[in-house]
Structure 1
Amino acid sequence: MRRRLTLLVAATTSLVLLAFLVPLALLVRTVAADRAVGAATLEAESVAALVTTLDRSALGLALEQAGTGEWPVTVFFAGGNILGTPAPRSPAVDLAARGDSITAQAPGGREVLVAVQGLSDGTAVVRTFVPDTELTRGVMRAWLILAALGLVLLGLSLVVARRMARSLVHPTLDLASVSHRLAAGDLDARAEPSGPPELREVSAALNHLAGRIRELLAQEREAAADLSHRLRTPLTALRLDTESLRDPEEAARVGASVDALERAVTQIIEDARRPARARDASGCDAAEVVADRVRFWAVLAEDQDRRLTAPDPQVPLPVALGRDDLTTCVDALLGNVFAHTPEGTAFTVRLEPRPLGGARLTVADDGPGFATSRPLERGASGGGSSGLGLDIVRRAAESSGGALSVDRSAGGGALVVLDLGGR
């Protein structure tokens, strides 16, 4: 923007200077020529006055003295005699001999011819010659002065343009910086009103927007925390019901599910009450987390007669996603298999390292596939669910530097590929 404003002012100033200096330069040249011709004409007229009053001998002496002056003077008489500085009789002299005083162009300069009438032998012509050097004397110097003046004015206009551009660009850059800080989660960022009134108004609007965003996020966090806190009461009742189960294995399995649900609720409350920039970014071992969750879901898979092909990782796979977040992602993907495929449907879980670090988790089943053509769109679900599970997984993957993609598996069912960035 600064460069464009500077170029615009430079172009505008250049056009104005050209429109002003070019006619002025032509005028200077015309004035210089008129000055020289005028001086030569005055010289010729003074000699013409002597032609009518002096005899030829005295006139010759006067012309010899005049020949040492600035302009060479020649007098052509009607009989062909010539006094003064020798010069050829040009057609312009013959034209002036008819009684007209004229100025004519000649090789190397300009002739100034004054007709002298009333002589006994006819009309005489007084000629002075102005060379080209005299016609343009001082013109080059004046042009250089005008050019220097134009450059100075152009330079001053560029300096003023840069200052004006700076007064516009710097506040704009400050606004952009504040907007980037807000986008990064710094809700305390505020713009300092500066610059033109319009930019000051934009700064005030941005500050108001930042304050409003802060208020809305605070309200959202409180609402999520309150909603999650309300779940503790039914969780407590569910735990009591679990303890009353007679089958120890069933009680242990249901109790583990209740514990996991309680941890998830606690995590939601903690995440809702602290800014996004303060979230856990320490990462975890994807191999350990996936193996733990597969063991958890394997019990239910055995009950529903589902064939489960699961990984047995030999080496750690560190990823840039917290343990709780990765647990949520794995539970969401495996939970979708149990929720949206009939009992007895086989599924596969595969975990492998990515070439540039991180891990790739693949979940494929032999079920009917996705019920919607846009399974990754938030809230889009054709299976009677909320449609938020895959969106939560996608956002978690992107926060780690990875991505989430879906396709059709080799068995015709759903294929979900979760890429996680490495630490």
Structure 2
Amino acid sequence: MRRRLINSTLAVVLVVIAVFGVSLVLVETRTISSSAQESVDSEAIRLLSIVDSRLIGGEPVTPGILADQGGAKRYALIEIPGRDAIEIGERPDGGVIRGVADGDNGEKVTVEEPRSSVTREVGRSLLIIGAVALLAVIAAVLLAVRQGNRLAAPLTDLAETAERLGSGDPRPRHRRYGVPELDRVADVLDASAERIARMLTAERRLAADASHQLRTPLTALSMRLEEITVTDDLGTVKEEASVALSQVERLTDVVERLLTNSRDPRTGSAVVFDLDEVVKQQLEEWRPVCRSAGRAIVCSGKQGLQAVGTPGAVAQVLAALIENSLMHGGGTVAVRTRVTGNQAVIEVTDEGAGVPAELGARIFERAISGRNSTGIGLAVARDLAEADGGRLELLQQQPPVFALFLSRVARSRREDRQPTVR
């Protein structure tokens, strides 16, 4: 690119010099020649006037007198009728520029100048014009190099940015170059980098959410399958297999919801459902886990509640709260249902030390954990609750009380029959 810019600039400058330089040389040559001719003619007229004045006054006309009065440095020939011709200076050889002046009484003055003097003057002018043209060419090359560097450096930088994007580094560089077209390309690359960063973040978030939300159902499913392998009672096998199948269905629901949230985290499907069934299902699923950990899980509160939400999502939120109590709390895990205004509330608490004061305001942020855990369980639970129009709050830090708030009443009968997208 630099070479092309230099070549094109140099070609333009050379064409301009060729067009205007030749014209200037022709004009300057003609001007110098005309000036030399006018000077010779003027000198011939001046000498003629001196000769006429001396003849009228009866004064002698000699070469010395004419040379002194005329100040002539050129060759001059003065012809006076009845007298010998008078010569002043040395007659030039070769081509000359001749000026002739005739008097009223027949006298004649001829002045000659060597044409070589004009040639030397033209040569000096050509030398000056050539020097100016050379300076113009040098200036044009320097300017082209500077412009080439100014354009090539941003293009190199943009290529490096594109290469960084291709290698998986989506950080925008926010560099601008003062060239509108290049700045437009930089804007597009920065916007692409931000989109790629968002997509990579969404993919990583999906992977983290999937690993976290699938871990508990898979653990429960493996426990059911272990129960089947160690029992010989056909009734127990059928019962555990039935529970295992229901857990497989829950796993499928978790995967589908994860994929839905990965496309749009604000999208949820809410219906009117029986809250007791979700709570009961979670208690049955977590009771073996609590028993193996030497802990107990109990349920109390108002029964027969109906809430608006997605049963699978509510079950995942409740599972996240119970798992959080098992991992970070102590003693009995208590699940309580109650009503406040037009909302159904599910509270989960335990007898542990509670949430540290420094984590209270940030407990629902990702990567925030009181112990060596992933720190995404409560964040995922909050996203699931908000996707269905509910909310998840920490009501009390010591002992910890987490509450899931859900609407109790559907907005219309149609919402009781069909899922509502929010």
Q: TM-score, normalised by structure 2?
A: 0.44
Higher relative contact order (CA 8 A, sep 6+): 2
Higher Rg: 2
